[in-house]
Amino acid sequence: MKKKQQAVVVTTQHKGVFFGYAESTDGPTITLTKARMCIYWTADLRGFMGLAVRGPQTGCKIGPAAESMIVRDVTAVVECTPQAVENWEKGIWQ
Protein backbone atom coordinates (compact mmCIF):
# COMPACT_ATOMS: atom_id res chain seq x y z
CA MET A 1 0.00 0.00 0.00
CA LYS A 2 1.35 3.42 -0.97
CA LYS A 3 1.75 5.98 1.80
CA LYS A 4 -0.14 9.25 1.54
CA GLN A 5 2.00 12.20 0.57
CA GLN A 6 2.04 15.18 2.89
CA ALA A 7 2.86 18.77 1.98
CA VAL A 8 5.97 19.94 3.83
CA VAL A 9 8.56 22.69 4.06
CA VAL A 10 12.08 21.28 4.38
CA THR A 11 15.28 23.04 5.47
CA THR A 12 18.84 21.83 4.98
CA GLN A 13 22.27 22.29 6.52
CA HIS A 14 23.11 24.33 3.42
CA LYS A 15 20.35 26.87 4.20
CA GLY A 16 18.06 25.58 1.46
CA VAL A 17 14.30 25.99 2.01
CA PHE A 18 12.05 23.75 -0.08
CA PHE A 19 8.36 22.90 -0.42
CA GLY A 20 7.00 19.68 -1.80
CA TYR A 21 5.11 16.49 -1.13
CA ALA A 22 6.79 13.64 0.76
CA GLU A 23 5.73 10.08 1.55
CA SER A 24 8.45 9.66 4.17
CA THR A 25 10.20 12.36 6.17
CA ASP A 26 12.50 10.17 8.25
CA GLY A 27 16.24 10.49 7.92
CA PRO A 28 18.72 13.02 6.57
CA THR A 29 17.59 12.53 2.94
CA ILE A 30 14.01 12.75 1.68
CA THR A 31 12.35 12.77 -1.73
CA LEU A 32 9.95 15.55 -2.64
CA THR A 33 7.58 15.62 -5.59
CA LYS A 34 6.32 18.88 -7.15
CA ALA A 35 9.25 20.48 -5.32
CA ARG A 36 9.83 24.23 -5.19
CA MET A 37 12.66 26.26 -3.70
CA CYS A 38 12.16 29.44 -1.73
CA ILE A 39 14.79 31.92 -2.89
CA TYR A 40 13.53 34.77 -0.70
CA TRP A 41 10.75 35.23 1.84
CA THR A 42 9.45 38.44 3.36
CA ALA A 43 9.97 39.51 6.97
CA ASP A 44 6.22 39.44 7.70
CA LEU A 45 6.39 35.61 7.60
CA ARG A 46 8.64 35.74 10.68
CA GLY A 47 11.00 33.00 9.51
CA PHE A 48 10.80 29.81 7.51
CA MET A 49 8.03 28.33 9.68
CA GLY A 50 5.76 31.09 8.41
CA LEU A 51 6.16 29.48 5.00
CA ALA A 52 4.59 26.30 6.43
CA VAL A 53 1.79 28.16 8.21
CA ARG A 54 0.86 30.95 5.77
CA GLY A 55 2.83 30.07 2.64
CA PRO A 56 4.62 32.54 0.40
CA GLN A 57 3.18 36.05 0.26
CA THR A 58 3.54 39.00 -2.11
CA GLY A 59 7.22 39.90 -2.25
CA CYS A 60 8.52 36.32 -1.94
CA LYS A 61 10.53 34.57 -4.65
CA ILE A 62 9.50 30.95 -5.28
CA GLY A 63 11.07 28.88 -8.04
CA PRO A 64 9.20 26.67 -10.53
CA ALA A 65 8.15 23.15 -9.56
CA ALA A 66 10.36 20.17 -10.34
CA GLU A 67 8.60 16.83 -10.76
CA SER A 68 10.88 15.09 -8.24
CA MET A 69 13.84 16.07 -6.10
CA ILE A 70 16.07 14.45 -3.50
CA VAL A 71 16.85 16.76 -0.59
CA ARG A 72 20.00 15.90 1.38
CA ASP A 73 21.26 17.02 4.78
CA VAL A 74 17.75 17.74 6.06
CA THR A 75 17.57 19.72 9.31
CA ALA A 76 13.80 20.31 9.66
CA VAL A 77 10.53 19.13 8.13
CA VAL A 78 7.38 21.15 8.89
CA GLU A 79 3.91 20.05 7.78
CA CYS A 80 2.04 22.72 5.80
CA THR A 81 -1.43 24.11 6.45
CA PRO A 82 -3.97 24.07 3.59
CA GLN A 83 -3.55 27.87 3.22
CA ALA A 84 0.22 27.47 2.87
CA VAL A 85 -0.16 24.74 0.23
CA GLU A 86 -2.47 26.95 -1.81
CA ASN A 87 0.06 29.81 -1.74
CA TRP A 88 3.05 27.57 -2.54
CA GLU A 89 1.21 26.19 -5.56
CA LYS A 90 0.89 29.74 -6.96
CA GLY A 91 4.67 29.91 -7.39
CA ILE A 92 4.89 33.59 -6.43
CA TRP A 93 7.90 35.45 -7.85
CA GLN A 94 7.89 39.18 -7.13
pTM of the model: 0.93
Whole-angstrom distance, CA of residue 35 vs CA of residue 41:
16
Domains parsed from the chain with CATH numbers: 6-90 (2.30.30.100)
Residues 6 or more apart whose Cβ sits within 8 Å of residue 83: 53, 54, 55
Tens digit of pLDDT per residue, the chain (94 long)? 457 899 999 999 999 999 999 999 999 999 999 999 999 999 999 999 999 999 999 999 999 999 999 999 999 999 999 999 999 999 989 8
- Supply the pLDDT for residue 94: 80
